[in-house]
Amino acid sequence: MNKVDPNGPSLVNIASNPIPEGARVGFFRTSDNVQLRYALWPKSEGAHRGTICLVQGRTEFIEKYFETIADFRRRGFAVATFDWRGQGGSDRLIGNRKLGYVDRFEDYWTDLKSFHGEILLPECPPPFYLVGHSMGGLASLYAGINDRLMFDRIFLSAPMVALDRQPLSMGGMAKVCETLSFLGLGRMPVSRAADKPASEATFPGNPLTGDLIRYLRAVDVIKARPDLEIGAPTVRWAASAMGAMAEAGRDSFPGQIRIPLLMLAAARDEVVSTAAIEQLGLRMRTGRHVVIAGARHELFMETDVIRGQVFAAFDAFITEQSA
C-alpha cells in the first residue's frame, strides 16, 4: 500500500481556491486499516440544520469542493467530507499511485461506514444528509440500502449507475474485467480520453463543465500538490465498478432503497448514463430524479445558472423533511 504524505493531512490553500474558514483536517483509519484524509467545517451562520456528508467522484479530492462546502455552510449546515481510499490525500492501494484502484466496490462502503462511526457520529451534529457525486453517488445508493438509519436523506449529483457507449452491458463488461483480473492484469490501466490531465487547453469540448474558472480551479490545486492526482482507472477498478453498476440495473434494486432520495442528472452528460438515472428514478419507491437542462457531468462545478438550479433542487428536497 502506498501510504499518505508523511507531512500530514493538510489542505491545499491557493488564491483561486481558498479554504473555507473554520476547517479542521485529519486522518482516520477504516475498519480494514486504510488511512483516509478527512475535513470538517462547522455551520457558519443562521439556524443549525445538521451535517452534510459529502462524498466525491472518482479522481476527486476534498479541495475541489471548497466552493460547494461554503454554499452548504451558508445554508446553516456543518460539512464533513473525506477522500476515498486510493485517491486524494488518502492511502493509495498500489505502487503506481497515479492509477485508480480498488479491490472491491464494497470497500467504498467500508470507507463511508467507518467515517460515519469514527467521525460523523462523535463529532458532527445530526441530522445527517448524504450528498454524493458520480462514483460517490453509486456508493451512496448502496449506503441507503445497507443501513437505512445512517442518513436522513440522500442527494445525488449525476450518480454513476451505468455508462453509455460500452461494447457490452454493465454485467458483460464486469465479467470481461473480472477475467482479466483473474489473469493477473488487474493493475493494468484502462485508458480513456476523459482521463487526460486537465489544462486550459483541454477545456473546449470537455465533458465535465461549461465553466472555465471552476474547471481550472482543480487544475491549479493539482499544480500546487501533484500527489493528489490520479488518472486512468485500472482493470480491477473497472471490474468492481461495472459489477456494482450491473447490480444497480437489476429489477430488484430500486425497491431496496427505502430512504428519501433525489438524483440530479445532467442532460449533456458524456461520463455516466442519464437515461439509466432516469430509469432508476422512475422505479424507486422513495426517490425521484430531475434532469438539469444544458448541464454537463460535474453539476457542482457548472456555471452559476446551472448551480443555481442544483441548489434550488437541494433546498426544496431538504425542506420537505420539515414541511
Mean pLDDT within 41-50: 83
Per-residue confidence at 137, pLDDT binned at 50, 70, 90? very high
Confidence band (pLDDT; 50, 70, 90) for 320? confident
**What total of structural domains would you count in the chain?**
1
| 2 inside domain | no
Q: Which amino acid is at 293?
A: A
Q: What is the mean pLDDT of residues 47-74?
A: 95
Query: Is the separation of the CB atoms in 237 and 96 below 8 Å?
Result: no
135 within 8 A of 57, measured Cβ to Cβ: yes
Question: 168 lies in a domain?
Answer: yes
The pLDDT tens digits of the residues spanning 79-107 come to 999 999 999 999 999 999 999 999 999 99
Structural domain includes residue 226: yes
Is residue 8 included in any domain, yes or no?
no
Residue 15 domain flag: no
CATH number, domain containing residue 132: 3.40.50.1820
Question: Does pLDDT of 133 surpass 50?
Answer: yes
Residue 9 lies in a domain: no
The CA distances from residue 61 to 76, 120, 166, 168, in Å, are 23, 19, 27, 30
Residues 198 and 279: beta-carbon distance below 8 Å: no
Q: Is residue 53 over pLDDT 80? A: yes
91 within a domain of the structure (yes/no): yes
Q: Does 4 score more than 60 pLDDT?
A: no
pLDDT confidence bin for 35, thresholds 50/70/90: very high
The dihedral region occupied by 224, where left means phi > 0, alpha psi between -120 and 50, and beta the remainder, is: alpha
For residue 12, being part of any structural domain is answered with: no
From 55-64, 188-197, 231-240, 311-320, the region with the lowest mean pLDDT: 188-197
Domain residues for 124?
Answer: 24-322
Q: Let me know: does 98 contact 226? Beta carbons within 8 Å.
A: no
